[in-house]
Amino acid sequence: MISDIAVFILYLAVLIALALPLGRYMAKVLEGERTWLDPLLLPVERLIYRICGIKADEEMNWKQYAAAFVVFHVFGLLAIIGLQMGQHFLPLNPQQLGPVPWDLALNSGISFLTNTNWQAYAPEATTSYLTEMAGMTVQNFVSAVSGLAVATALIRGLTRKQTKLLGNYWKDMVRGTLWIMLPLSIVFALLFVQQGVIQNLLPYQTVTTLEGAEQTLAMGPAASQEAIKMLGTNGGGFFNANSAHPFENPTPLTNFLEALAIFLVPTSLVFMFGHLARDKRQGYAILATMLLLFCVMLSLLYGAERYGNPNLAALGLNSASSMEGKEVRFGQAGTALFSVVTTAASCGAVNGMFDSFTPLGGLIPMLQIMLGEVIVGGVGAGFYGMMVFVVLTVFIVGLMVGRTPEYLGKKIEAFEMKMATLAILIPATSILVGTAAASVLDVGTASLNNAGPHGLSEMLYAYVSCTGNNGSAFAGLNANTLFYNLSLSAALLLGRFGVLIPVLAIAGSMAEKKIAPPNAGTFPTHGMLFVILLATMVIIVGALTFLPALALGPIVEHLLMLQGQQF
């Protein structure tokens, strides 16, 4: 246990040590300041602007920024659907895989453009190398950077004074891709290749096993996609087993690096916020809240899985009880850390099977996504999701002390509260209505492999994961049906755009306000009191919204497990 805790401490120490300088670098990139990569990348940037007809110096208001975001992703969706449905006519398809059915192509296309990477299929048996590289990997880049761009626009709205302008979406996309995500992806891809993650365009290999049987091993350019899927908090695996597959995650070092990559850019973004706000304490307070909640969730999941299933332990299977659902190469600590990280961020890559965790162990990943994945969160999405809770917290504190609530010297008024409320209610409605429909319709329950509360947890997790733009699965549910492909596609869109557009509206409204200097009545938003209030607000909103659903699923399953009943 002591060695496990040492791994957790080492992880946080390395994360913060890397995120601090990266946050400063990101602030320079997105504000157009000079960096050491400029001599190499500035000519590329200018060429892209010239080819695409982009006027990078013309800034946008929040509506123009949102419109550019939507238009860009509409064309991206059409491209990725076309690649999937036409891959049998295209090159780099050594296994001669056929076209992807339209409903699955639609679902996976929306999934990748919303930074979710929900996969209701086995990639190695469904998509060609070209589809993976030109479709999925490209979307991994642009969906991550689009979240980063929106977070940057929000920061500008909070820190600029009396303006309608939030920057240029196209410029933010180009600079975020060229200066940030691409260099980081190259570094991590080379590290992964060195550790044994495969990177090739070979046909699938047929080998003879030790038992004398023949087995087909999937090949492909896995390392390059592995890097950006982690750094961009995308999560979709090149292989169906995801990061439990030895070709994607071969060593304890790659397991550590993958977990590190998931949190690296979102954590750096919080430090970037402190730099751009000209008050680093604001960034530290947000990060302290995130890491406080993260440590609580990690402790709960690790404790639940270390305790294990008492029904297996009663049979003398103590080791099986504590290792059920976990990757034996990485042990309890490696799987617990990875599982909490990937659902605290909107990543969804997994190296263990949540469906096999204890009921309370499976509750933690689900709860983290329900809370909006604001516990560090995805690239951009975690930050602006947490800022929605900041708006709520500041507003409530203002009511308590009888003052107009302010954040960074700007007043929080009715419009900001309406938008923040929408950003919380839209995803919650998607999750609860979607799960309710699936649980009462035959087309929903027909896909279940488990009955009772565990079956409900499987359906609930699917809508939680898609709405939260996470992409991980609880397993046990066949989601590749017309009903689930279409209903989960709706959840994917609501979870992304139902939060992002209200956030941009908040940014636009805040940008127009003047900044008032702090005075004796100003509530400080950089101290420990604010950290505790903000963390409490996140938990209370999640508990009030989702406790009934959790009570019917993992909580009652845990109580029944203690009585010896299994599902």
Q: How far is CA 397 from the centre of its chain?
A: 29
> Is 359 part of any domain?
yes
Tell me the C-alpha to C-alpha distance, in Å, between residue 553 and each of 243, 288, 365, 372.
26, 31, 13, 19
pLDDT score, position 354: 87
DSSP codes joined into one string, 161-184: -S-S----HHHHHHHIIIIIIHHH
Helices of type H across 441-481: 442-445, 452-467
- Residue 129 tokens, joined: 């190398």
Q: How far is CA 544 from the centre of its chain?
A: 23
Mean pLDDT of the chain: 91
Residue 359: burial class (beta carbons within 10 Å; 0-12, 13-18, 19+): buried
> Is 443 part of any domain?
yes
> Is 441 part of any domain?
yes
Interval 427-445: pLDDT, tens: 999 999 999 999 999 999 9
pLDDT score, position 323: 67
Interval 224-255: pLDDT, tens: 999 999 999 998 878 888 998 999 999 999 99
Interval 118-133: pLDDT, tens: 998 889 999 999 999 9
> Is 339 part of any domain?
yes
Interval 263-283: pLDDT, tens: 999 999 999 999 999 999 999
**Dist. CA 387–CA 157, nearest whole Å:** 12
CB 117 within 8 A of CB 138: no
**Dist. CA 346–CA 182, nearest whole Å:** 19
Q: Is 320 a residue whose pLDDT tops 60?
A: no
CB 233 within 8 A of CB 144: yes
Per-residue pLDDT band at 530 (split at 50, 70, 90): very high
Count other C-beta atoms under 10 Å from residue 4's C-beta.
16
Cα-flanking dihedrals φ and ψ of residue 407, to 5°? -140, 125
Q: Are strands 410-411 and 406-407 parallel, antiparallel or unpaired?
A: antiparallel
> Is 457 part of any domain?
yes
> Is 430 part of any domain?
yes
Nearest to 458 by CA among 443, 441, 442, 439: 439
Interval 380-413: pLDDT, tens: 888 999 999 999 999 988 888 777 788 998 999 9
Nearest to 488 by CA among 233, 107, 114, 136: 107
Count other C-beta atoms under 10 Å from residue 234's C-beta.
32
Amino acid, res. 383: F
**Dist. CA 81–CA 85, nearest whole Å:** 6
Per-residue pLDDT band at 284 (split at 50, 70, 90): very high
pLDDT score, position 324: 67
Residue 136: burial class (beta carbons within 10 Å; 0-12, 13-18, 19+): buried
Nearest to 115 by CA among 381, 311, 370, 313: 381
Amino acid, res. 165: L
**Dist. CA 42–CA 112, nearest whole Å:** 28
CB 435 within 8 A of CB 466: no
- Residue 398 tokens, joined: 């203002």
Q: Are strands 214-217 and 205-208 parallel, antiparallel or unpaired?
A: antiparallel
Q: Which residues pair with 411 in a beta bridge?
A: 406
Q: Is 322 a residue whose pLDDT tops 70?
A: no
**Crossing angle between the packed helical segments 138-159 and 62-85, to the nearest 10 degrees:** 170
- Residue 118 tokens, joined: 């929900």
pLDDT score, position 319: 55
Tell me the C-alpha to C-alpha distance, in Å, between residue 55 and each of 145, 171, 298.
19, 9, 46
pLDDT score, position 142: 94
Q: Which residues pair with 207 in a beta bridge?
A: 215
- Residue 473 tokens, joined: 């699965």
pLDDT score, position 46: 95
Domain count, the chain: 1
pLDDT score, position 184: 97
**Mean pLDDT, residues 367-386:** 90
Q: How far is CA 358 from the centre of its chain?
A: 23
Interval 452-491: pLDDT, tens: 899 999 999 999 999 999 989 888 889 999 999 999 999 9
> Is 91 part of any domain?
no
**Dist. CA 226–CA 73, nearest whole Å:** 22
Q: What percent of the chain has pLDDT over 90?
A: 72
> Is 408 part of any domain?
yes
Secondary structure in 3-state letters for 191-225: HHHHHCCCECCCCCEEEECCCCCEEEECCCEHHHH
**Dist. CA 510–CA 513, nearest whole Å:** 5
Nearest to 167 by CA among 49, 55, 273: 55
Angle at 524 between CA 522 and CA 527, to 5 degrees: 165
Selected residue with higher pLDDT from 13 and 330: 13
Please list the helix, strand and coil fractions of the chain in percent, rounded to the nearest 5, in that order. Answer: 65, 5, 30
Can you give the residue range of the structural domain that contains 467?
Answer: 282-562
DSSP codes joined into one string, 263-290: HHHHHHHHHHHHHHTT-HHHHHHHHHHH
